[in-house]
Each structure stands twice: as structure tokens, then as C-alpha cells.
Amino acid sequence: MSRARSSRLLVSLAIIAGLLGGCRDAGEGDYVNVTGKIFVFNYRIAQATYLLTLGKLRPLPDGAILEATFENPAGGTPFVVRQKIWPMMEKITVESPPIKCVKANREYKVSMRLEDASGKILQIIERKMISDVDQSVMPDKPLVVGPFYDPNPDKGLGENSSAACPA
């Protein structure tokens, strides 16, 4: 075999090995990362929630579960949301139940656990979320009701319930 031919063969093998190495899952590192986090204030229905978006970094095992724990801004028991993660999902969103008493410029803790089907923890993510808007800007009652967003017949929207929130 000529020297030039053996050099081309070695270069070709190195390229193939590099491509194959880049395609396989080494089984190390994070499965997901946080790509977005925000407080959603839906003034139409007088409701606020936490909303996080996660991006997949590598394939997830079948039956994976995401458990998110959200600090309760009103105090008391944190909110816990568990949801199945489908292997084909590229983007994952997790939203809290409705929350009350969000204060502007205050940190709220969110933690997420990614588990496999047997409950083994694959990854833990902890974040702090800060709202730049205070929930006192929200109406006390929905402005609209029903599936067609009809105006709320209860015109007396009352005073804002933020007075019942912890300081």
C-alpha cells in the first residue's frame, strides 16, 4: 500500500470515528436545561402562574417523569406538579397551578427532579424566579367568563385581595 493511500485511509477512519463518537450517547451529563422561565399574569381570568420551558440535551429514557416544586408566594405548602415526559418531546413546558400574592423583585424557589420510570433521580434543577410585576396589578375577579370570553356580569370587581398576602 502506498504511503499516500494509507494516509487517506487513516484520515477517513479518523473522520468516521469522530462522526460515530459524536452521535452516540455517552450516558453522562444533563438531560435537560432551562431555556425559559417567567411568571404569567393573565389579567383576563385574574390568574397568575409560574411557567418554565426546558430543552432536551440528550435522549430521555422511556417513562421519564418531571416533578416540579414551586414555592407558594402566599405561604404554606409548595405546589407540586408531576408530568410524564415523552421521549420525542424536544421542548418541555411545566406550569404551576394558579398562584396568589406574587411580589415584585422577590425571589421564589423552583426545583425540578427528572426521574426514570423506576423513580431513580436522573437530574435535579433548582432555580430562583423573580417577577418584575406585583400581583396587586391583577383584578380580584376575572374580567371575562366562559369559553367565549364573555364579559364578567359581576361588575363589582371589589378590592384587590393582595391585602390578604403576607408582607
Residue 113 pLDDT more than 60? Answer: yes
Mean pLDDT, to the nearest integer, of 22-42? Answer: 79
More confident residue, 15 or 35: 35
Task: For residue 5, give the H/E element and its range.
Answer: helix 3-23
Residue 124 pLDDT more than 90? Answer: yes
What gap in Å lies between CA 97 and CA 155, rounded to an integer? 26
Contact by Cβ (8 Å): 31, 122? yes
A 10 A CB-CB count for 55 gives 12
Q: Is the pTM of this model over 0.75?
A: yes
4-13, 81-90, 110-119, 136-145: the lowest-pLDDT one: 4-13
pLDDT at 98: 96
Q: Which pLDDT band, with edges at 50, 70 and 90, does 20 fall under?
A: very low
Class of domain 32-149: mainly beta
Q: Report which residue type is found at 106.
A: R
User: Could you tell me the residue ranges of all domains in the chain?
Assistant: 32-149
Residue 101 has, within 13 A of its CA and on its CB side, a CA count of 12
pLDDT at 165: 85
| Backbone angles phi and psi of 135, in degrees to 5 | -70, -10
| pLDDT tens-place string over residues 50-95 | 999 999 999 999 999 999 999 999 999 999 999 999 888 889 999 9
Q: Which pLDDT band, with edges at 50, 70 and 90, does 137 fall under?
A: confident
Q: For the chain, give the mean pLDDT.
A: 84
Q: Which one-letter DSSP state was computed for residue 86?
A: -
